[in-house]
Chain A
Amino acid sequence: MSELSVSSRELEGVTLVYPSGFINAHTVRVFEDELQKAMGGGCYRIVVSGQDLRYVASAGLGALMGVIEEVRSNGGDIRIAELNETVLNIFEMLGFNHLYRIFGSEQEAILSFREKAPTGAPTA
């Protein structure tokens, strides 16, 4: 069985990316390809929905870091939703919760793109 599968769909102008399994050095390419697919299609409003994401190593965090500047410079953002406690702890350990907006639900993340505030890192 594959350690990681990633699917995506578009909803209300936002690309929702669903990594399922583990993101580490062995599987990160699959995740990166899905992010690149969204960007290649001109979609820079991306929500990574982590409901089935069991584990993320630094390779996964690095994948986000590798594209966030390009995404934001195109007026978009990568927002994170529905992380389990383990994955949320990993984000917080490195301070990624200050660089990315993290939401409890996918719906909140999608709605956040309707806000009039500029995209980018959390202000609080």
Chain B
Amino acid sequence: MLQVPSGTEFLATIRDATKRMAELAGCDATVAAQVALAVDEAATNVIKHAYRGASDRRVELRFLLATDELRVEIVDDGSPVDTRSLPELDLKRYASEKRRGGLGVHLMGRIMDAVTFRRTARGNVCCMVKRLGAGEAREAR
């Protein structure tokens, strides 16, 4: 488990730790970098939306290496987030509306094999799964 303050300067720490975990799970460098990006995006959304930019909160990451998948949970105790399905990405409309945000969730969905959001007693939990080759099951704490 990794817990960091909610400042954006810690996104690099989150990214590096995730990349390393993905490599340990057997991902090649390209896939590991992509998984790190997906987690970077999820953590950014926590900071921006659940914590509304506050840098004095905490972002918690849990990594579970299973036989055929790497599961990453990003947990925050911030405001509930809107987890309804996103509309299909329309880049031309994005450009015409000069929109900058909202792309991260689409990236997460394209990189990872499963992305789910739920609200628990702990707060918001974003769970992302990347399917792998065969390996040993173990929980990384």
Contact = CB atoms under 8 A, between A and B. Distances in A.
A40 interface: no
Contacts of A57: 37, 40-41, 44, 104, 107
B17 to A, nearest CB: 15
Q: Would you list the 7 A-B pairs with minimal beta carbon distance, nearest first?
A: A62-B100, A26-B8, A58-B103, A58-B104, A25-B44, A66-B100, A93-B110
A3 interface: yes
Given A93-B111, A98-B91, A99-B91, A62 B101 contact: yes
Interface in B90-129: 91-92, 94-96, 98-101, 103-104, 106-107, 110-111
Given A25-B8, A59-B44, A65 B94 contact: yes
Interface stretch (A9-17, A43-51, A84-92, A105-113): A84-92
Contacts of A86: 30, 33-34
**A-side interface mostly:** helix
B140 interface: no
Interface residues of B, number: 30
Given A25-B11, A95-B91, A96-B91, A89 B107 contact: no
A61 interface: yes
Interface string B21-60: 0000000001001100100110010011000000000000
Interface of A: 3, 22, 24-26, 55, 57-59, 61-63, 65-70, 85-86, 89-90, 93-96, 98-99, 121
12 contacts: A24-B11, A57-B104, A57-B107, A58-B101, A59-B100, A59-B104, A62-B99, A62-B101, A69-B98, A89-B34, A95-B89, A99-B95
Contacts of A63: 100
B9 interface: yes
B41 A94 contact: no
A57 B37 CA distance: 7
A90 B92 CA distance: 17
Given A24-B40, A25-B48, A62 B103 contact: yes
Contacts of B11: 24-26
